[in-house]
Amino acid sequence: MSFRYIWLLLFLLIQIGLWLYWVFNIKNNSYPIISKKMDKIIAKHIDLSRISIKNNILIIGILLLTVSASGPQIGTRIRPVERKGVDLVIALDTSTSMDAEDVTPSRLSKSKLEVGKLIKNLKGDRVAIIVFAGTSHLYLPLTTDYEAALLFLDEIDSDMIPTQGTILSTAMNKALESFSNDVDKFKVMMLITDGEDHDDKAIEIASKASEMGLIINTVGVGSKSGSLIPIKDKKTKKVGYKRDIKGNLITSTLNESILKEIASAGGGAYFWFANSADSYKEISSVLENMEKKTISTHEFSEYEDRYQLLGLSSVFCFIISFAFPTKRKIKR
């Protein structure tokens, strides 16, 4: 059992305390003498035991009303919920080049920030997350649980995939596997990366995906001038910069040309996560203007309100209390 307004139960404790204080005073006859004199007069016409019953019923009614007002909820209530939206797969590059800091605070951190804002702005769309570097993995299957998606997103880092490198085609293939084959539209992918590709199949796969109804949008992260790739220890403290086998510092640059070609082949558009705030808004606008499908009806569980019976019981107690006779029956 839970309560919508649990703080109202504090009044219940106060009421019980006052009731106990009242009972204690009666048992100890802690009334002034004038009250005892009045009792003798009143007792001739009024049945004091009936007054006690009347008051107890009234108190029970007040207690029930307080509990009812606190909004008790018991069990679960299942109801169908219908949504309209698209199926969105977000593929996020987690290779070490995404640690480059030409975008503040880093390419990966900036991407996570903007993707988080995008997810919070979704309305009825299903979302999935793919992480990729040298290999690709379905990190979160399609879901409308945006809170869960944000929790999964927060845990992404550049150390989660042991096989380094960036192979864009594997991310697109994994996205195709994430969708059902019953519809040939309402499917969109956001490929978020700095564009460093160690494979030449990306454009071919993007074209194939487009034929299967998957729109591929690409999102570039980084700058054309590039940045060094920091090396961090287990405490995420920077200890140096990545070097090639000859010992030269590696500068990672944004490859916009390949990303624009992939977007063109995939029937989508190219976007850029810049240092400016709210870079996600342009992507969000595109998603909102897409044709929506009715997402398969699913069951939504929640606690069922149970205040009604308590509320009616309290009203019943009030009616009985006010109607309860207290006059003595006069014997004739």
d(CA 234, CA 56): 67
Q: Residue 326 corresponds to which tokens in the numbers above?
A: 């207290």
Contact criterion met (CB below 8 Å) for 9 and 66: yes
CA of 82: how far to CAs of 59, 87, 148, in Å? 45, 15, 20
- Which residue in this structure is represented by tokens 């014997």? 331
Which residue type does 16 have? Answer: I
Among candidate residues 255, 224, 230, 226, the one with its CA nearest the CA of residue 243: 230
**Cis peptide, bond prior to residue 230, ω within 30 of zero:** no
Domain-wise residue ranges, the chain: 2-71+306-323, 81-297
Residues 158-188, buried b or exposed e (16+ Cβ, 10 A)? beebeeebbbbbbbbbbbbebbeeeeeebbb
Q: What was the pLDDT predicted at 164?
A: 79
Q: What was the pLDDT predicted at 237?
A: 79
Q: Residue 290 corresponds to which tokens in the numbers above?
A: 């897409």
Q: What was the pLDDT predicted at 332?
A: 52
The DSSP secondary-structure symbol of 224 reads S
310-319 contacts, C-beta under 8 A, 24 or more apart: 310/64, 310/65, 310/67, 310/68, 310/72, 311/64, 311/65, 311/68, 313/61, 313/64, 314/61, 314/62, 314/64, 314/65, 314/68, 315/61, 316/61, 317/57, 317/58, 317/60, 317/61, 317/64, 318/58, 318/61
Q: Residue 314 corresponds to which tokens in the numbers above?
A: 């309290």
The DSSP secondary-structure symbol of 252 reads E
Low-confidence ranges of the chain (pLDDT < 70): 1-4, 23, 25-49, 73-81, 180-184, 198, 295-304, 326-332
pTM of the entire structure? 0.66
Residues counted in the chain: 332
Q: What was the pLDDT predicted at 33?
A: 47
d(CA 154, CA 181): 30
d(CA 187, CA 211): 12
d(CA 94, CA 90): 12
CATH second-level architecture of 81-297?
3-Layer(aba) Sandwich (3.40)
d(CA 172, CA 185): 16
Calculate ∠ Cα 176-85-79, nearest 5°: 115
